[in-house]
């Protein structure tokens, strides 16, 4: 990882920067999923993880000069949108029944 000093000297943004961002976003997303109990926040964290993947895809796509990465990002976006739609719909139904969005209260899957 390049140190911040040289980053300031030379504002050339390269593959490493994108990947670093991606890793950070992914880690934040993961930690969010693990530690937050609010389902909505967990959802957002999942979206964050997807976005981080998208960033790395685009970065590699540019770096390798290969359009496939771009195409894949579009697919991920579409799927993420669909997933969010379905997930939120389920969430609304659960909230109507249980009056809570605390994920620790949802343990019926255990049985």
Going by C-alpha positions, the residue among 91, 80, 76 that lies closest to residue 38 is: 91
Quick one: which segment of 15-23, 51-59, 64-72, 98-106 binds another protein (CB under 8 A)? 98-106
Quick one: which segment of 14-22, 60-68, 88-96, 100-108 binds another protein (CB under 8 A)? 100-108
4 binds another protein (CB under 8 A): no
In terms of CB distance, is 37 or 70 closer to another protein? 37
Start-end of H helices in 1-111: 4-9, 15-35, 39-64, 68-98
Query: How many chain residues are in contact with another protein, going by CB under 8 A?
Result: 15
Smallest gap, in angstroms, from Cβ of residue 71 to another protein?
Answer: 25
Going by C-alpha positions, the residue among 65, 31, 35, 63 that lies closest to residue 48 is: 31
Q: List all residues 6 or more positions away from 32 whose beta carbon is below 8 Å from its beta carbon.
A: 41, 42, 44, 45, 48
For another protein, the binding residue among 9, 65, 99, 111 (CB under 8 A) is 111
Query: Which residues pair with residue 76 across a beta bridge?
Result: none
The binding track of 28-47 with respect to another protein, each residue x by CB under 8 A or -, is --x--xxxxx----x-----
């Amino acid at each position: 990882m390049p140190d911040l000093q040289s980053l300031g000297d030379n504002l050339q943004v390269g593959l490493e920067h994108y990947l670093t961002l991606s890793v950070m976003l992914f880690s934040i997303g993961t930690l969010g999923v693990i530690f937050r109990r609010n389902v909505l926040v967990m959802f957002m964290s999942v979206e964050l993880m997807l976005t981080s993947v998208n960033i790395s895809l685009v970065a590699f796509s540019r770096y390798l000069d290969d359009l496939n990465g771009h195409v894949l990002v579009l697919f991920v976006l579409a799927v993420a949108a669909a997933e969010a739609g379905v997930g939120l719909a389920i969430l609304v139904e659960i909230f109507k029944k249980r009056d809570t969005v605390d994920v620790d209260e949802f343990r019926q899957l255990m049985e």
